[in-house]
Amino acid sequence: MNARWPEALVANPLDAWISARLGGVALIDHQIAMLVETVAWAKQRSPFYRRLLADVDERTLTAPGALHRLPFTTADDLRRSDPPLLCVSQSDISHVVTLETSGTSGPPKRLFFTPEDQETTIDFFRHGMSVLTRPGDRVAILFPGERPGSVGDLLATGLQLMGATPILAGWPHDPAATAALLQRERPDVVAGAPVAVLAVARNSPSLRVRSVLLSSDHVAASLRTSLADLWGCEVFEHYGMTEMGLGGGVDCDAHAGYHMREHELLVEVVAPDSGVPMAPGEFGEVVFTTLTRRGLPLIRYRTGDISRVLPGTCPCGSPLLRLDRIAGRIGGGNGGRTMAALDEALFSRPEVVDFSASYRPGMTPTLHVDITTLPGSGDPEALRTTLTAIPVLAQGVNLSVDVVADGRLLTRVGKRRITVDNTA
């Protein structure tokens, strides 16, 4: 937490927005007041929090370090929802998101939002996007947006409020068709998931785009570079998740970490095993507390993401907390690292549109990689050579590669990962 918000310092549009929202109150004082309010609200309204926080007197939360004595909440608490975390009646809820847990058969996580909770997200999208968008810009949205309250829908509303024109293209199931749409619409800015945006860019290399916002998944350096080369654009990244209310933080044009919306999210990094707070610069698990959420507030929610608070001040001068890129997942083992290595290697090849990977354990474990390339390209042997050059695949893994030159997007909405095939 920053001690004081420097009176005159509005280094980027996020600063200007947050400074205005604080209305002269120091950020830390605002955060503590909102934390006290959130804990009191949760205890009063939710059976889950009444039990979890039974021993917590919210009036003592103003003491230094008191936050760190609050218990954590986890994804399992959300999945069980017994007793429920929800703090309002169902009739006060305007949007529900169900998140299936990939790789397990457990119950899904369900997140509930009131209209006010969604207004907060729109407000963040409006001001977060203004880091890379100007009033009058045309902005293509490649996130799903058909459903009211979906990420594409809220982003479109936020953009309209800032005076930009949203073009809701939706998820690019057919990248060539989305590329043709973008050629007609000539957007200044494109927002979407990393692989989805790259797939469209591979299909429209003559398009010129000023800025791109990538969100919802790991961004390989090779993907970022390819995108910047194809469209001549500046690439910005956003970090957030449904549990955060979609929005979290965005990097500025210094590209030196995500500036978090700290007046609405209290962000910590803790040691995964002991839960002890980590010093800036040290890697640990990202934990956050929602400070304004009414439907389903999350208190010290463990994200499972590994990152660190970047020490020092951003070159842009903003006093906001900066989170580094996500370095992996707690308990992710080698899966995350291998996926990142595959991303890095495959997206450096100009013909690769997308890929998916599955791992079959056994005496000789096999990694099967399906690759789609632009029509008329994709030499399987060359791609296999690219893969065998990856150190993590060099030994003990049988590699099987399928290449289809149909330019299709294999990736679906959400985080990409290596699936594990236990059949056989």
Rounded to a whole number of angstroms, the minimum distance from the CB of residue 338 to Zn ion is 32
- Region near Zn ion per CB under 5 A, out of 215-223, 254-262, 326-334, 389-397: 254-262
Contact 414, 102 (CB under 8 A): yes
Q: Which is nearer to Zn ion, 13 or 145 (CB)?
A: 13
The candidate with the shortest Cα–Cα distance to 253, out of 187, 308, 318, 311, is: 318
Q: Which is nearer to Zn ion, 254 or 390 (CB)?
A: 254
- Region near Zn ion per CB under 5 A, out of 145-153, 250-258, 267-275, 381-389: 250-258
Would you count residue 191 as binding Zn ion (CB under 5 A)? no
| Lookup: tokens for 105 | 């058969």
Half-sphere exposure of 284 (CA within 13 A, CB side): 22
Write out the H or E segment, with its range, that includes residue 388: helix 380-388
Q: Which is nearer to Zn ion, 13 or 187 (CB)?
A: 13
Q: Which is nearer to Zn ion, 191 or 252 (CB)?
A: 252
Question: Which of 252, 342, 374, 387 contacts Zn ion by CB under 5 A?
Answer: 252
Of residues 365-394, those binding Zn ion (CB under 5 A): none
The candidate with the shortest Cα–Cα distance to 139, out of 150, 149, 125, is: 125
- Region near Zn ion per CB under 5 A, out of 210-218, 252-260, 356-364, 383-391: 252-260
Q: Which is nearer to Zn ion, 227 or 252 (CB)?
A: 252
Contact 35, 293 (CB under 8 A): no
Half-sphere exposure of 398 (CA within 13 A, CB side): 9
Rounded to a whole number of angstroms, the minimum distance from the CB of residue 132 to Zn ion is 12
Would you count residue 254 as binding Zn ion (CB under 5 A)? yes
Q: Which residues contact 184 (CB under 8 A, 6 or more apart)?
A: none
Q: How far is 296 from 330, CA to CA, in rounded Å?
A: 24
In degrees rounded to 5, what are phi and psi of residue 399?
Answer: -105, 130
Q: In what order do the strands lie in the sheet with 328-329?
A: 265-270, 284-290, 301-307, 328-329
Site size with Zn ion, rule: CB under 5 A: 5
Rounded to a whole number of angstroms, the minimum distance from the CB of residue 273 to Zn ion is 32
Of residues 1-20, those binding Zn ion (CB under 5 A): none
Could you tell me which residues are beta bridge partners of residue 400? Answer: 368
Could you tell me which residues are beta bridge partners of residue 284? Answer: 307
Three-state DSSP class for residue 353: strand
Rounded to a whole number of angstroms, the minimum distance from the CB of residue 240 to Zn ion is 17
Q: Which is nearer to Zn ion, 131 or 371 (CB)?
A: 131
Rounded to a whole number of angstroms, the minimum distance from the CB of residue 253 to Zn ion is 7
Of residues 316-335, those binding Zn ion (CB under 5 A): 316, 318
| Lookup: tokens for 20 | 């205005």
DSSP secondary structure of 98-137? EE--TTS-SPPEEEEE-HHHHHHHHHHHHHHHTTT--TT-
Q: Which is nearer to Zn ion, 314 or 339 (CB)?
A: 314
List the x/- string, 281-320, binding to Zn ion by CB under 5 A: ---------------------------------x-x-x--
DSSP collapsed to 3 states, 204-215 = CCCCCCCEEEEC
Q: Which is nearer to Zn ion, 131 or 374 (CB)?
A: 131
Q: Which is nearer to Zn ion, 156 or 314 (CB)?
A: 314
Rounded to a whole number of angstroms, the minimum distance from the CB of residue 134 to Zn ion is 18
Q: How far is 93 from 350, CA to CA, in rounded Å?
A: 46
Rounded to a whole number of angstroms, the minimum distance from the CB of residue 209 to Zn ion is 22
List contacts with Zn ion (CB under 5 A): 252, 254, 314, 316, 318
